[in-house]
Structure 1
């Protein structure tokens, strides 16, 4: 048996304020079952309590009103659950970003480890590579898909990498929020490959670098960039050639970001 109740009583049943209930009516989330033609008083059915509770929980999870409407109007359970899962996945990703930001901020409160710099001249070498203009906000996804394609291309030719993969980043990538990035995997000299679209066999140029190791996730990579770049500016002749990163232990090899190991190679013009 159901009953109809005033908006005030419905507010008590649902923990939703009268103001909120009126707003949900206005945006089409929760309409009263009856509105008095003369007084304008709204009345709700006790059948609507469960729907109101669901809306309250979804808003508590910061789900936008259009997405809540899609959940409520889903034609079947599968469609509804898919919408809920998609929102939860976005929330989990946001939560991880928040955790990373908190950890990064805590790291700024602790003294940086002493900088160890090695100078190395790297000879030219052949590599399978993918070159593109990439935005900094999508660089993680781009690198993930690019390296997957590079290693697939190598495996299809029964080849093995001649060294760890890496990437070069142009000055525009930092100065303009997007710029040319080249992801590469070294291969044996003289190797031949049937390369799919977007993949090329290139010659990585010889370069002189100041090099340091970055341990851990990329959340604090800016500190390593700042430290090494400052060292080069203070002791060497800065080159505008692309910075080179070498992924000695990459996200493909471990699920623990604390185990990542990356060489940051800063190009210099000093012999």
Structure 2
């Protein structure tokens, strides 16, 4: 194609709806390289047929799909894989929306009644220690399934923030500072979307112990075993 038919980066930005900053970044990460880069000036030029890919990138970024997953959706030849990427992101957005909804509800309460310092009126479990066969495997599992942040200083996954009611530490046994229990542990977690989290756990390598079920005496619940055999009872919040 003649350079006369190529689009300047400004013209391409106008047609694609992407900013100049975004186009430069997508070039740097190899997601949307220009057709030609002037070796002297570094000026980028694009083919007209690249506009469609650029618009698709823009559409996927508007729903906050990470760049690596945008690349999968655009470039993976398997439609099942592409659909799985979008479905997983949809589930993550639904959980975030649920969390934001709860935060809005809490703020409504604060606006109407004021902000009170949380008081601990009765004991509650805030820490469980588990054995794992591989720390890296455990980190991958709990970070993916529960979005738990791992604190290396205390060898623990942190769920929620102190002093909030959702605060919980899942400590990984690490001799000699964090000796573990005699065998696999069992603990329960409240989750925003039981069925979604249950499926995500299975996809991440968990074994299903009990499928999601409704029971008259407790919230909808299920049970999975993490890759190290620790059992996790999941409860719908």
Instruction: Give the number of the structure with larger relative contact order, counting CA–CA contacts within 8 Å between residues 6 or more apart.
Output: 1
If you compute each CA radius of gyration, which structure gives the higher value, 1 or 2? 1
TM category (shorter chain) comes to: 0.3 to 0.5
